[in-house]
Amino acid sequence: MRTLISRVVVFVIGALIGIGGIASVLYLLNDGMTNMSVQRTSSTHTAESSPLASSHSEERYRTPSITAEIPSRIEDIVFPRRTFDLKAGIVFWVATLTDDQIVDLLKQSTETSWHVSYANRTELQTTLLQKLSTTAPARALDFVLERDEYQRNSMIRTVYAAWARHDLNKAIERAKELDHPDSFYALDAILDARTDLPFERKRDIAIGLRDERHAFYSHFTNLTKDEIENPRETWYEIVNLASRESVQEEAEDALNRVAIVWFQERGLEILDEIVSSISEDFDYYFVLDGLFDDLSADRSQNVFDYMMSNLGDRAIEVIRETRLSEIWARRDPKNMLAKVKTLPASDFREDLIRLSVRRWADRNPQQIFEQLEQVPPGLREYASDRAIDEFTQKSPTEAAQFVLQMSDEEMQEKLATRLIQTWCKEDAASAKEWVLDLPTNDPIRASMISSLKWRLVSTDPRDAFELALKEPIDYGSEDSILDRIADDDVQLALELLPQVREGRKVSAYAHIGSSLVEQGFSTQALDLANDLDQTEQKEFYQRIAMRWAYYDPKGLLKVFDDFPTFAKSRIAVGIKITNEVGNYYSEEELAHVEKHISDKDKELFKQVQNIDIDNASEEELELLHQLHLY
C-alpha cells in the first residue's frame, strides 16, 4: 500500500511533468519514501524566499520545499517572482492540502478583494482544481458550476481532464447532468484526456453526452496532432470515415493539416487528387486553408495555372474558396492583373481583375498612377481612389506633393479632394496647416480648402466655418456649413450666424430657421426674420415654409396665420405643392390657405404642376428655384 507521501509526490511530479508520466513514477516509488526528509520553510520569507518555494541562491538546484504552515487567508500567500519557482512552489504546497482547505482557498481565490496578478490567480486556481479533482472531483465541479460562464469553460476542462483519468464512469455519469455548453466542455476534456480509448468507446461517450459529432472531431484531431508519416493514407482514412458518417465538417480542420503536409511532400501533382477525392459536402476553404500561404509570386501563378488546366469545372470554385488569389495579388498584383485579363469574360475574371487592381493600389500607389493605362477603363477611378487613400495613409505630405505635380487638372482636383478627406481622418490639424501654407494663387488650393472644411465641420466646426468665410463669396458655402453645424449644435450655429456675408445671409438664416423648426423651436425660428429687411424676409419665410411643409405639414398649417401678409401667398403655394405629393391636408384646410394666393402665384402653381422634373428645361428649373423646390 502506498503511503500518503507517495501519493503527494505522484501528484507533484504529475503536475510538473504531465499526467502521462505518472505511471512510470508510480513504478519507481516505494514505501521507503516514508523516510524521505521534508524541509520546512518559514512563512515569513520575502518574495524571493516565500512559503511556496525556497529560492535562496545556494539552493538554486534543490527541489522546492513543502511548506509546513498553511495560511488561513489567501492574501497571506507570497508568490515567488521567477516562473519556475512559482509553478513548482504552488504544486508542492498544494499537494499537502486537505480537500476542505482546497475548497476554502478556491472560494477565497474568487474574491475581488484579493489583489493579485491574473497569472498568479489562474496558476493557483488551476493547481488547486487539479488536486481536488483527483481526490474529490464532485466537490471541484460544484465549485466550478458556481462560476460565471466565462470562467467555467477552462475550469470544467481542468476538472474533467483529471476526473476522466481517475474514474471515467463517474465522470461521464455526472457530465450527463450538465447543460450545454458545460456538457460540451466536459466531453471535450474527457476525449482529450483519454486518447487511449478505442474510437467506438469515445463515440458511445459522446452519444451519451448528446454530441456524437464531437467524437469524430476528436478522433480526426488525434490522427493529425502528431507527425503525419503517411499523409495520403491518413487523408483517405479521414475522408472515407467522414463521408460514410456524414461528418464532413468535423473532418475539415484535420484534412487541412494533412493537405499541407501532403502538398509540401509531393507538390502540385496532388492537388487534382485532393480535390477529386472530396465531395461538395466538404468546404474547400477550410480543407485547403493555409495550403498556399507560403507560396512565392511565381509559385502562386504556377499553382493557379495548374488548377485552371487540370481541375476542370472545379478549378474556379477551389480558387474562389481558398486564399490562393489573395496571396498572389499581395505578392505580385501587377503581373496577376496582366495574367487574369487574358481569361475568358466571366464574373470570375472580373473579380480577379478587381482584386489585383486593389492590391496593386495598396502595394505601390505611385506606380499604378504612372501605369494607369494598364488598368481596365471601368476600374481606373476605383484604382485612383484606392491608390490615393493608401498613399495618403502611408505618407500624406508625399501624397500631397504627388497630387500637386499632376498635369491632368481634372484628375488633380478629384484626387486633391479625396486626399484631404483621407488625411483629415488621420490628422486634421496637419492637413489644415499644409493646405493653408499653399500659395494663395495656387489653383488647387481652393478645391483643397473646400474639401478640408467639409471634413472639419463635424470635428472642428468653428475652423470649418472660418475656412468657408475665406472663400470667394461667389462660391462660398458658409450657409451650407452652418446648416451642417445646426444639425449637431444649433446654439453654436446661432452664435456664428451674424458673421455670414451678405450674399449668403438669407440662405444661412433659412437653414438655421429650418433646423430650429425641426428641433421644436418654431417661435425662435420665426423671430430670426427680425434681423432681415422685408425683401429678405419674404425669401426667408418661403424657404423655411417649404422645409417645414415636408417635415411637419400640420404644424405649418397651425402657424400659417402668424406669417406676414406679404409672405402668405408663396407659402400657400408651397403648402399646395406639398399636398400634391403627400395629401396631407383636408379640402377645408386647403380652401383656407388658397384664399391667400395671389392671381400671379395661382398661375405659377399651374406652371409647376405641368413640369416633368426629370426632363425640365432651363426656364422650368428657374421657376422651381424661385419657389425653392429644386
> Per residue, what are the HEC states of 6-28?
HHHHHHHHHHHHCHHHHHHHHHH
Distance CA 163, CA 129 (A): 11
- The amino acid sitting at 376 is P
Neighbours of 340 (CB within 10 A): 21
Cell of 125: 486556481
- Three-state SS sequence of 568-623: HHHHHHHHHHHHHHHCCCCHHHHHHHHCCCCHHHHHHHHHHHCCCHHHCCHHHHHH
- pLDDT for the residue numbered 7: 42
On whether the CB atoms of residues 379 and 354 are closer than 8 A, the answer is yes
Residue closest to 105 by CA, chosen among 119, 90, 118: 90
Distance CA 336, CA 295 (A): 14
Which helix (H) or strand (E) is 430 found in, with range?
helix 409-436
Residue closest to 547 by CA, chosen among 525, 566, 531, 532: 525
In which residue ranges of the chain is pLDDT below 70? 1-72, 76, 78-87, 89, 612-614, 616, 620-630
Quote helix, strand, coil % in the chain, to nearest 5.
Answer: 75, 0, 25
* Local structure of residue 112 (DSSP, 8 states): T
Hey, what long-range contacts does 264-270 have (CB within 8 A, 24 or more apart)? 265/231, 268/302, 268/303, 268/306, 270/232
Number of H helices, E strands in the chain: 36, 0
- pLDDT for the residue numbered 627: 64
- Three-state SS sequence of 130-189: HHHHHHCHHHHHHHHHCCCHHHHHHHHHHHHHHHHHHCHHHHHHHHCCCCCCHHHHHHHH
Distance CA 467, CA 476 (A): 9
- The amino acid sitting at 259 is A
C-alpha torsion sign, points 70, 72, 76, 77: positive
On whether the CB atoms of residues 361 and 386 are closer than 8 A, the answer is yes
On whether the CB atoms of residues 360 and 333 are closer than 8 A, the answer is yes
Task: Quickly tell me which residue has 500518503 as its cell.
Answer: 4
Residue closest to 400 by CA, chosen among 451, 349, 331: 451
* Local structure of residue 293 (DSSP, 8 states): T
- pLDDT for the residue numbered 82: 60
Distances (CA, A) of 159 to 168, 188, 220, 531: 12, 12, 24, 79
Q: If 0-12 CB within 10 Å is exposed, 13-18 middle and 19+ buried, where does residue 586 land?
A: exposed
Which helix (H) or strand (E) is 505 found in, with range?
helix 505-518
Three-state SS at 197? coil
Domain-wise residue ranges, the chain: 553-630
Task: Please report how many Cα atoms fall inside a 13 Å half-sphere around the Cα of residue 199, on the Cβ side.
Answer: 12
Task: Quickly tell me which residue has 490567480 as its cell.
Answer: 121
Distance CA 542, CA 557 (A): 14
Distance CA 134, CA 160 (A): 10
